[in-house]
Structure 1
């Protein structure tokens, strides 16, 4: 399949025995224009694209304008980008959805989304309290599941979904009880919602666990799973970290004393969190490819890795930019940390690990981040 179609205007009508100098010049220009859009001279475009798809997109971006256009075309394997929910500092209601291109180092607004009525980030009566907008990524989609309104009710009756490869928004199945916070996580293409509070506290909701397969072609429903033993995980918005076919979560954020629980997906059963895992859970946690678990100690700015065989946490690095960490995302050898310093990318695939600050759009601060395939140009 050709990557680019070059539209050539209809040639002017000529006398059968005469071709003007202008016509000859135009023909030369058209041929030159065509040559400029050939991916690899001497190869059909579909074969050239097959060869180029194995090359690092950042190299293609820096070598040729033609190759630069190729890596953003819908037919080229998408590289991964950073997606962020951003807000204006001190704003009570304003959020924007952006994507950061790691190849061109630029931010782009996502296409317009359906209205988010009365969504609240900060309540005027609780100046020090931030109200969470809970989101998760699954099946290469960004999914908003829970948020709060001005009257402290659930803002999202059903998940709001963004699909980067098509640049479109859609809705997921309605929750039996929409939440204004919950334990939210994903394993593979399946989203899990546990506990939380609806418009009013209910022990039934506080102990609930439901799942939804994002790839389900019909609207689908949330499937109920085994209940939690109590409602102690309904106190605030928390992450349920997908790790080795389990969901791991604690009931409060930060450095405070907490309880932990682990849901075994295969057995459909809740278990106690291992002692060492719980002891080291002192900030946001994420699992790289659902296999290697990391934590950022938000008080000390220390990044640690969980050693399952020893039930202990191994220190990797300490950095000021990691202090006050609020969210952690792990993907493809890199960690994205949202903290008081903004967004930082930690490359843990190199030794020693390297920290790369991400410059945010002017006047905005991060609410949440995710790593998903890039959007094709044109959206």
Structure 2
């Protein structure tokens, strides 16, 4: 049942014959079939939902109480066919002139960038951690080193797509300058290079100590969260002076373990998780896409070309949480000037995948921006 039909049914039940005279008022967009009108409203950019709610009482009800509409705390998989949650790409980038950190959002349908409020962060480039909680529509900017100094900070800023604004949450238990971080089971897990770790519960709004990682320090090169685990790798270099190290944190047991050999030795780029699978964009050669095969403990090449050369480095990557239809998965590679390579990964043959790339050019005014992080949120 459509939203408008449901509303009419409620009104009829409450007001009887008299309410039938006002049925026309219940139309979302007069003259359009209900299903078409609903699709039109679902594609309104999330930045303007508060403004659109003032258009009419019907729009206000639809944008807040539509049956099945995704709320900030509802995972996309739990929603009905009507959903206000669409996957937007959020890209963090530094302006080399102003040295200010910016955040922009790419509309998945119009392929236009939306300007977001300034990021309340004075940390030096690359020193802080960024973690997205896609189902909540939130992004956390965590810790870092004060710009122009060497003092680590514990503060945490959070962006909410529901309000299109920034706020502050409880700071970490200890200041951290460089760290690995990711979402594990709806919580933010932060692991410092010293082995100490802590977990933030967004519902409770507080941090708790997590199990410490033993053994030698692991200098963060990249990190990814998948399957209830946070994977931290110190990366690769050729020729190897020593074998690369990696660690895995499992939330269910609050315990650390060593990363599988094939995973850590083949982790040669930036990782994105999409549809529960881990992919890396290689930093060498043709910037090919590889997928991790846990059963074989190896990174397998994805068929198709590498990231288009027109999307220049530095690259940051992000994956769309859910499949996009027909078992396909989506990977975003953001390059200099916020040019974006959108990769759609689908099955090519048994146990094989193939990626097709589409390039979305960044606006001319973004030409000097250098990306440092990307997240996909449902907003």
TM-score by length of 2: 0.69
Provide closer, same or farther for how the CA distance between residues 228 and 54 of structure 1 changes in structure 2, counting only shifts above 3 A.
farther
Aligned residue runs from structure 1 range 1-379, under 5 A: 37-38=29-30, 40-41=32-33, 48=34, 52=38, 57=43, 73=63, 77-88=84-95, 90-91=96-97, 93-113=99-119, 115-117=120-122, 119-121=123-125, 131-138=126-133, 139-154=136-151, 156-196=153-193, 206-216=194-204, 219-220=205-206, 222-230=207-215, 232-233=217-218, 235-236=219-220, 238-252=221-235, 257-289=243-275, 291-300=276-285, 301-316=287-302, 317-319=304-306, 320-321=308-309, 324=313, 326-331=315-320, 332=322, 333-339=329-335, 342-349=339-346, 352-364=354-366, 365=369, 366-374=371-379
Structure 2 gaps of 5+ residues are 6-23, 45-51, 67-82, 323-328, 349-353
Considering only aligned residues, what root-mean-square deviation do their CA atoms show, in Å? 3.5
Judging changes above 3 Å, is the alpha-carbon distance between structure 1 residues 120 and 53 closer, same or farther for their aligned structure 2 residues?
Answer: same
Contact 2:231 2:259 in 1 (8 A): yes
- Give the Cα–Cα distance (whole angstroms) in 1 for the partners of residues 305 and 127 of structure 2: 27
Structure-2 change in CA distance of 1:133 and 1:174 (3 Å): closer
Distance change in 2, residues 1:106/1:193 (3 Å) = same
Q: In 1, Cα distance between the equivalents of 2:312 and 2:261? A: 24
Shift of 1:34: 10
Pairwise CA distance, 1:298: 0.7
Once the 2 structures are TM-superposed, how far is the Cα of residue 210 of structure 1 from its aligned partner? Answer: 0.5
* Number of residue pairs aligned between Structure 1 and Structure 2: 304
Bigger Rg, which one:
1
For structure 1, the residue ranges without an aligned partner over 5 or more in a row are 4-31, 42-47, 59-65, 122-130, 197-205, 375-379
CA contact (8 A) 1:254 1:283 kept: no
TM-score, structure 1 normalization: 0.69
Conservation of the 8 A alpha-carbon contact between 2:124 and 2:148: no
Deviations 1:102-159 (A, max 9, x none): 212211111355x434x333xxxxxxxxx34421101321111133323433565321
Closer, same or farther in 2 for the Cα pair 1:350/1:108, shift >3 Å?
Answer: farther
Which whole-Å CA distance do the structure 1 matches of 2:182 and 2:259 have between them? 16
